[in-house]
Amino acid sequence: MRIRIFALSLALSAAAMAYAQAPTAGAPAAATAPGGDVTQKAMPSAFVVKFKVKPGKNADFEKAFKEMQAGVRAHEPGNLYYDLYLSNEDPQTYVIIEHYKDQAALAAHRNTEHGKKLFAALGDLIEGRPEAQALILVSAK
């Protein structure tokens, strides 16, 4: 079990590190930042992460994420939202949509105690590795 938790933590850490990398070849090197600044290098600030939950573990998974959300709400003022969704097509698939004010808020999120607690719990709750997609804000309401 420790190996599985370690592998999950390593996978999520690798995904988080990839978020901080410059855009890949073919991707725009800069985008219009909120406020119209086109000179600022575009960095991901929002993420969509999909989890496949083991059958019979939905309630435990939801409880773990509600605890995580409480930690985010209480200790991460730079988080704009951290929402949990259940797929309409698959009752074992959950999606987190999260958005951060800036790179400092994202960096702070990666090193929290509530995050470490969630990663420890996920090893027994999910099948495979989470799928993560990093998003660069282009426009907001």
Residue 93 φ/ψ region, left for φ over 0, alpha for ψ in the -120 to 50 degree band, beta for the rest: beta
Backbone angles phi, psi at 98, to 5 degrees: -130, 145
Whether the predicted pLDDT of 19 surpasses 80: no
Which of the residue ranges 23-32, 65-74, 124-133 would you say has the lowest mean pLDDT? 23-32
How high is the pLDDT of residue 42? 80
How high is the pLDDT of residue 36? 56
At 130, the amino acid letter reads P
- pTM: predicted TM-score of the whole model, two decimal places: 0.72
Q: What percent of the chain has pLDDT over 70?
A: 71
What is the tens place of the pLDDT at every residue in 102-131?
999 999 999 899 999 999 999 999 999 999
- CATH class of the domain at 2-135: alpha beta
Region 37-47 average pLDDT:
75
Gap between the Cα atoms of 24 and 18, Å rounded: 10
Give one DSSP letter per residue of 45-59, joined into a string.
-EEEEEEEBPTT-HH
How high is the pLDDT of residue 97? 98
